[in-house]
Structure 1
Amino acid sequence: MTYALPPLNALRAFEAAARHLSFKLAAHELHVTPAAVGQQVKALEARLGVQLFERLHKQLILTAAGQAYLPGVSEGFRHIAEATSQLKPEGVVLLQLGVHASFDLRRLDLAAFRSAHAEIGLRVLQPAGLHELVEGKVDLLIARSLGHHPGYRCDRITERTGLGDWLIAPEGTADCPEIVSFREWLRTVMDAKARASRRPRLVGGVGS
Structure 2
Amino acid sequence: MTYALPPLNALRAFEAAARHLSFKLAAHELHVTPAAVGQQVKALEARLGVQLFERLHKQLILTAAGQAYLPGISEGFRHIAEATSQLKPAGAMQLQLGVHGSFDLRRLDLAAFRSTHAEIGLRVLQPAGLHELVEGKVDLLIARGLRHHPGYRCERIDEGSGGGDWLVAPEGTADCPEIVSFRVWLRALPAAKPLANRRPRLVGGVGS
Unmatched 5+ stretches in structure 2: 126-131, 193-208
Aligned partner of 1:39 in structure 2 is 39
Q: Deviations over 1:102-160 (max 9, x none)?
A: 9699x525995323663212424466643437xxx84x34579956443432357899x
Q: Deviations over 1:25-83 (max 9, x none)?
A: 43344444433321221121123232211222333232232222212111111111222
The SS at the match of 1:55 is: strand
CA pair 46-182 structure 1, distance change in 2 beyond 3 A: same
Aligned partner of 2:205 in structure 1 is none
TM-score in terms of structure 2 length: 0.60
Aligned partner of 1:99 in structure 2 is 98
Distance 1:150 1:98 in 2: 20
Query: Given the alignment, which residue of 105, 108, 127 partners 2:105?
Result: 108
Aligned partner of 1:7 in structure 2 is 7
Judge conservation of contact 1:54–1:62 (CA < 8 Å) in 2. yes
Taking only aligned residues, the RMSD between alpha carbons, in angstroms, comes to 4.2
Letter in structure 1 aligned against 2:110: F
Unmatched 5+ stretches in structure 1: 189-208
Between structure 1 and structure 2, the one with the greater Rg is: 1
Letter in structure 1 aligned against 2:18: A
Judge conservation of contact 2:25–2:151 (CA < 8 Å) in 1. no
Task: Count residues in correspondence.
Answer: 180
Judge conservation of contact 2:52–2:65 (CA < 8 Å) in 1. yes
Judge conservation of contact 1:54–1:63 (CA < 8 Å) in 2. yes
Aligned partner of 1:180 in structure 2 is 184
Aligned partner of 2:121 in structure 1 is 123
Letter in structure 2 aligned against 1:123: G
Distance 1:177 1:48 in 2: 38
Letter in structure 2 aligned against 1:171: A
Distance 2:136 2:62 in 1: 29
Query: Given the alignment, which residue of 164, 169, 174 partners 1:171?
Result: 174
CA pair 150-183 structure 1, distance change in 2 beyond 3 A: farther
Q: Percent same amino acid among aligned pairs?
A: 63
Aligned partner of 1:79 in structure 2 is 79
Letter in structure 2 aligned against 1:132: G
The SS at the match of 1:118 is: helix
TM-score in terms of structure 1 length: 0.60
